[in-house]
């Protein structure tokens, strides 16, 4: 069993609650034990670092200090924006002793910097292939575009996770559950991020390019690991289609949802009914061990 501190962040309890639901649904089947950090707070993404530098450091530092207080060695942060803020702040504070002491004074907690921050892809990549294959009831036999976005692999010298321009670890995890992954140019391009409300036109332009390329290369689904990326590619689909002048039915799934489908977990428990774009995947030829299963956005009971 892999025991990890867990920081869900604001999005996973709100607009991206299906991410939290699907992660918790697959955790016990994949050998991950989640220990939610008590009394956690917002990490400040994505506005704090633009408004107040001390606040942008203090918010993540308090979360990390709380995790250290629980004697945890690692903290799992599924949201890519939250992961980036916590990891960057950890790096800044352990690199500057005076800054570390000052921020520790602000949060009134001693932050040592001895806890590692990991993202969802790193956590999932640790699951032994043999153990995962034993749990699979319905291989996820679809062609997918693994979309990493901006923040999982940048800045590379701080995050130090996968290849900054052509990451592969999400692709490797998807292959473990039966998927084929496309080689494409947009896996780390920006979707528009926090401009989703203030400049929807920019989001539609940037996200439209991502969806268009994925579709042209034969992807049947886009796989993400970031609430903001999911929101822009899914919730802003009507704006994207208006700009592109065509309809796109390709669904956007969190990687935890794709794994959950392969493990035979119901649509409802994975939160698929919460998506704006219906999760409809093409019917595949049945194997001897699998039941006919067509993921849709309609809630199901197991």
Considering the domain boundaries, does residue 300 fall inside one?
no
Q: How far apart are CA 116 and CA 132, in angstroms?
A: 24
Instruction: For the chain, state the CA radius of gyration.
Output: 19
Considering the domain boundaries, does residue 103 fall inside one?
yes
**Per-residue pLDDT tens over the stretch 128-145:** 888 788 899 999 999 999
Nearest to 255 by CA among 244, 263, 243, 247: 263
CATH number of 116's domain: 1.20.1050.140
> b/e for 63-72, b at 16 or more Cβ within 10 A?
bbbbbbeeeb
**Per-residue pLDDT tens over the stretch 234-249:** 999 999 999 999 999 9
Write down the pLDDT at residue 28: 86
Tracing tokens 């390329």 back to the chain, one arrives at: 213
**Per-residue pLDDT tens over the stretch 62-77:** 999 999 999 999 999 9
Q: How far apart are CA 231 and CA 252, in angstroms?
A: 9
Considering the domain boundaries, does residue 65 fall inside one?
yes
Write down the pLDDT at residue 282: 87
Write down the pLDDT at residue 195: 82
Instruction: Work out the angle at residue 147's Cα, subtended by the Cα atoms of residues 146 and 153, and round it to the nearest 5 degrees.
Output: 110
- Is there a contact between 262 and 54 (Cβ–Cβ < 8 Å)? no
Q: Is the whole model's pTM more than 0.85, yes or no?
A: yes
List, in order, residues 6 or more apart from 256 with CB less than 8 Å away. 19, 22, 23, 25, 26, 78, 120, 124, 270
Q: How far apart are CA 264 and CA 258, in angstroms?
A: 10
Tokens of 49: 């670092």
- Is there a contact between 268 and 301 (Cβ–Cβ < 8 Å)? yes
Considering the domain boundaries, does residue 105 fall inside one?
yes
155 in the same domain as 265: yes
Q: How far apart are the first and last CA of the chain?
A: 25
108 in the same domain as 152: no
Tokens of 71: 């004697």
Average pLDDT in the chain: 92
- Count of the separate structural domains present in the chain: 2
**Per-residue pLDDT tens over the stretch 171-222:** 999 999 999 999 999 999 999 987 887 799 999 999 999 999 999 999 999 9
Considering the domain boundaries, does residue 17 fall inside one?
yes
Q: How far apart are CA 238 and CA 15, in angstroms?
A: 18
173 in the same domain as 44: no
63 in the same domain as 154: no
Cis check: omega of the bond before 244, within 30 degrees of 0: no
87 in the same domain as 53: yes
pLDDT confidence band for 290 (50 / 70 / 90)? very low
**Per-residue pLDDT tens over the stretch 49-103:** 778 899 999 999 999 999 999 999 999 999 999 999 999 999 999 999 999 999 9
Range of the domain at 196: 133-274
Task: Give the end of a domain, one of 73, 90, 120.
Answer: 120
Considering the domain boundaries, does residue 60 fall inside one?
yes
**DSSP assignment string, 72-108:** -SEEE--SHHHHHHHHHHHHHHHH-HHHHHHHHHHHT
Three-class SS state of 140? coil
Task: Give the end of a domain, one of 74, 95, 120.
Answer: 120
By the 10 Å C-beta count (0-12 exposed, 13-18 middle, 19+ buried), 135 is classed as: middle
Considering the domain boundaries, does residue 115 fall inside one?
yes
138 in the same domain as 79: no
Write down the pLDDT at residue 296: 52
The helix or strand, by DSSP H or E, that contains position 143, with its residue range, turns out to be strand 143-146
152 has pLDDT over 70: yes
> b/e for 12-48, b at 16 or more Cβ within 10 A?
beeebebbbbbbbbbbebbebebeebeebbebbbbeb
């Amino acid at each position: 069993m892999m025991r990890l501190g867990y920081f869900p962040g604001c999005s996973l309890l709100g607009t991206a609650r299906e991410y939290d639901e699907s992660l918790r649904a697959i955790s016990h089947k994949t050998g991950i034990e989640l220990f939610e950090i008590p009394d956690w707070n917002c990490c400040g993404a994505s506005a704090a670092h633009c408004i107040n530098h001390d606040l942008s450091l203090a918010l993540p530092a308090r979360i990390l200090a709380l995790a250290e207080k629980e004697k945890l060695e690692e903290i799992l942060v599924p949201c890519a924006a939250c992961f980036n803020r916590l990891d960057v702040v950890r790096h800044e504070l352990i690199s500057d002793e005076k800054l570390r002491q000052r921020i520790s004074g602000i949060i009134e907690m001693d932050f040592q910097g001895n806890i590692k921050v990991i993202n969802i892809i790193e956590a999932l990549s640790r699951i032994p292939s043999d153990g995962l294959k034993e749990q699979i009831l319905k291989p996820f036999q679809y062609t997918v575009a693994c979309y990493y976005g901006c923040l999982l692999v940048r800045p590379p010298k701080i995050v130090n996770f996968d290849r900054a321009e052509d990451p592969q670890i999400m692709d490797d995890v998807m292959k473990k559950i039966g998927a084929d992954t496309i080689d494409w140019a947009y896996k780390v391009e920006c979707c528009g991020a926090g401009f989703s409300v203030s400049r929807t036109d920019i989001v539609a332009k940037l996200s439209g390019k991502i969806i268009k390329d994925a579709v042209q290369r034969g992807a049947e689904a886009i796989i993400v690991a970031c609430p903001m990326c999911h929101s822009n590619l899914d919730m802003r689909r009507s704006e994207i289609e208006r700009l592109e002048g065509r309809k796109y039915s390709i669904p956007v799934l969190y990687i935890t949802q794709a794994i959950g489908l392969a493990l035979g977990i119901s649509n409802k428990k994975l939160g698929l009914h919460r998506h704006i774009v219906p999760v409809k995947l093409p019917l595949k030829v049945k194997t001897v061990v699998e039941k006919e299963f067509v993921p849709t956005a309609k809630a199901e009971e197991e």
